[in-house]
């Protein structure tokens, strides 16, 4: 009798794996309130162990667990440095009463997997796991070694996740020249015969600030020309109302050019959100990356209505375009005025790389093989990812978690949103693309 050939199906498990990962509540409330990622990391390690892949678990704090696995099976080209494939295991919290379904039940209904983490980012975690398990079972090695890292704490700044790993175990990352992870690879339907797949090649830097006004405390019935609340309120109003000048990053320009060509319209930088309105809420995301931004988010002052406090504090969420960090801080200093100072709560570098090279060519090729209407385009993201940590070691970071999405799905609203969900067909598509990608990357 001849030997049996094991049939490959990289998408076979992806829906079930995504659902099971969602059922593991890894809500991250910040430093003091996280549920912890350990149960999800142990689940992931067990699923890898079933197909002969060993994992290491690292903890920066009890329960804050990051998984690292070296997948270098016989048949891959050991002369090529590893590709870092990274996801995060934590999710933002969800208020169950706001949802149509239990956000941690992993329910599969109406053609979607529902639950917190369905798009951010247990979908990608599941796609990678499904592909790796299938390839390990069927003896299909990737072209090059793969470094799998599933981190803790991405949703609260990666302090006890990716940044901790880079600071304490840089050797686990430093040999990887390139990486793929969130947020990119998803489709944007612009015509019946064209879907743009947005590959993230850059993300804005982060500057969270406390604004502090010091004044003279006194009785609320007295005149006071040195009122900290008044000084702070003025600074907050100036920052909140400031119209930041456009600063178009090359990745942003390439994305805008592709949309202009697809839609046959000229996009006005002064009204980009209106110009792109037909693309849905992605227009809001694009609008946020046309300039630096600074949004006042918190205020604190005083303890009694008839007491003028000696100090008032506000918080600002600042984001800067790659290359424009100094301009951001110079502008904030001008807007503060003489009586208000700022302190940096958190600061993270902007991330950027070029949309070029063999890895990008592989992305386009693998997308086109599964979707003949696919065109990969670069874009700049307004938020942040673990790429901010990996870049410190010189890793070129791409957002490439491929999903072919229905044209009417408001995908941007799914991130941290109520009724977060991902189509099962999109998960299966992504698994097939990643399977091809591991042959070419």
Same domain, 77 and 116: yes
Whether residue 176 is contained in a domain is answered as yes
Distance CA 316, CA 297 (A): 6
The boundaries of the domain holding residue 328 are 206-246+291-347
Tell me, what's the pLDDT at 3? 47
Same domain, 175 and 217: no
Same domain, 178 and 305: no
pLDDT for 281 beyond 70: no
Residue 72 and residue 146 in contact, taking contact as beta carbons nearer than 8 Å:
yes
Token pair of 35, please? 């549920």
Residues in the chain: 441
pLDDT for 340 beyond 90: yes
Whether residue 377 is contained in a domain is answered as no
Q: What is the CATH number of the domain that holds 28?
A: 3.40.630.10
Whether residue 275 is contained in a domain is answered as no
**pTM score of the predicted model:** 0.91
For the segment 47-96, what is each residue's pLDDT rounded down to a tens digit? 999 999 999 999 999 999 999 999 999 999 999 999 999 999 999 999 99
Three-state DSSP string of 91-105: ECCCCHHHCCCCCCC
For the segment 176-209, what is each residue's pLDDT rounded down to a tens digit? 999 999 989 999 888 889 999 999 999 999 999 9
Tell me, what's the pLDDT at 4? 52
Distance CA 245, CA 351 (A): 20
Q: If pLDDT is split at 50, 70 and 90, which confidence band does 129 have?
A: very high
Q: What is the CATH number of the domain that holds 301?
A: 3.30.70.360
For residue 239, what is the enclosing H or E element? helix 228-241
For the segment 379-429, what is each residue's pLDDT rounded down to a tens digit? 999 888 999 999 999 999 999 999 999 988 877 777 888 999 999 999 999
Distance CA 312, CA 79 (A): 59
For the segment 24-43, what is each residue's pLDDT rounded down to a tens digit? 999 999 877 788 999 999 99
Residue 344 burial (CB < 10 Å; 0-12/13-18/19+)? exposed
Same domain, 219 and 129: no
Distance CA 424, CA 429 (A): 9
Residue 42 burial (CB < 10 Å; 0-12/13-18/19+)? middle
Tell me, what's the pLDDT at 349? 92
Lookup result for tokens 């406390």:
210
Tell me, what's the pLDDT at 238? 98
CA-CA-CA-CA torsion sign (207, 181, 100, 102): negative
Phi-psi region of 416 (alpha: psi -120 to 50; beta: other; left: phi over 0): left
Same domain, 123 and 231: no
């Amino acid at each position: 009798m001849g030997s049996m050939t094991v049939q490959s199906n990289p998408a076979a498990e992806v829906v079930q794996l995504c659902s099971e990962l969602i059922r593991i509540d890894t809500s991250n409330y910040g430093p003091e309130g996280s549920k912890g990622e350990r149960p999800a990391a142990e689940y992931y390690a067990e699923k890898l162990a079933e197909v002969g892949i060993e994992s290491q678990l690292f903890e920066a704090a009890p329960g804050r667990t990051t998984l690292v696995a070296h997948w270098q099976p016989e048949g891959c080209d050991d002369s090529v440095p590893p590709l870092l494939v990274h996801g995060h295991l934590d999710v933002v919290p969800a208020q169950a009463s706001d949802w149509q379904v239990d956000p941690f039940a992993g329910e599969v209904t109406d053609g979607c997997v529902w639950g917190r983490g369905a798009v951010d980012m247990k979908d990608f975690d599941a796609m990678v796991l499904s592909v790796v398990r299938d390839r390990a079972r069927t003896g299909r090695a990737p072209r090059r070694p793969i470094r799998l890292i599933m981190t803790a704490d991405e949703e609260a700044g990666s302090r006890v996740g990716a940044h901790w790993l880079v600071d304490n175990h840089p050797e686990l990352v430093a040999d990887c020249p390139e990486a793929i992870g969130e947020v990119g690879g998803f489709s944007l339907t612009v015509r019946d015969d064209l879907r743009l797949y947005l590959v993230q090649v850059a993300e804005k830097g982060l500057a969270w600030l406390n604004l502090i006004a010091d004044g003279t405390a006194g009785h609320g019935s007295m005149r006071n020309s040195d009122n900290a609340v008044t000084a702070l309120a003025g600074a907050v109003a100036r920052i909140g109302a400031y119209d930041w000048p456009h600063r178009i990053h090359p990745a942003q320009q390439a994305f805008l050019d592709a949309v202009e060509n697809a839609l046959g319209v000229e996009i006005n930088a002064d009204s980009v959100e209106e110009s792109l309105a037909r693309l849905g809420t992605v227009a809001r995301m694009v609008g946020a990356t046309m300039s630096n931004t600074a949004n006042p988010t918190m205020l604190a002052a005083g303890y009694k209505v008839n007491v003028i406090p000696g100090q008032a504090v506000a918080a600002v969420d600042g984001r800067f375009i790659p290359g424009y960090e100094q301009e951001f801080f110079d502008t904030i200093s001008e807007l503060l005025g003489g009586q208000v100072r700022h302190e940096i709560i958190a600061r993270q570098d902007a991330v950027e790389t070029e949309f070029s090279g063999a890895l990008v060519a592989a992305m386009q090729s693998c997308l086109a093989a599964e979707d003949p209407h696919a065109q990969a385009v670069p874009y700049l993201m307004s938020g942040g990812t673990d790429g901010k940590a990996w870049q410190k070691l010189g890793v070129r970071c791409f957002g490439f978690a491929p999903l072919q999405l229905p044209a009417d799905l408001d995908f941007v609203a799914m991130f941290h949103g109520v009724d977060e969900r991902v189509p099962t067909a999109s998960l299966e598509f992504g698994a097939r693309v990643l399977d091809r990608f591991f042959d070419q990357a």
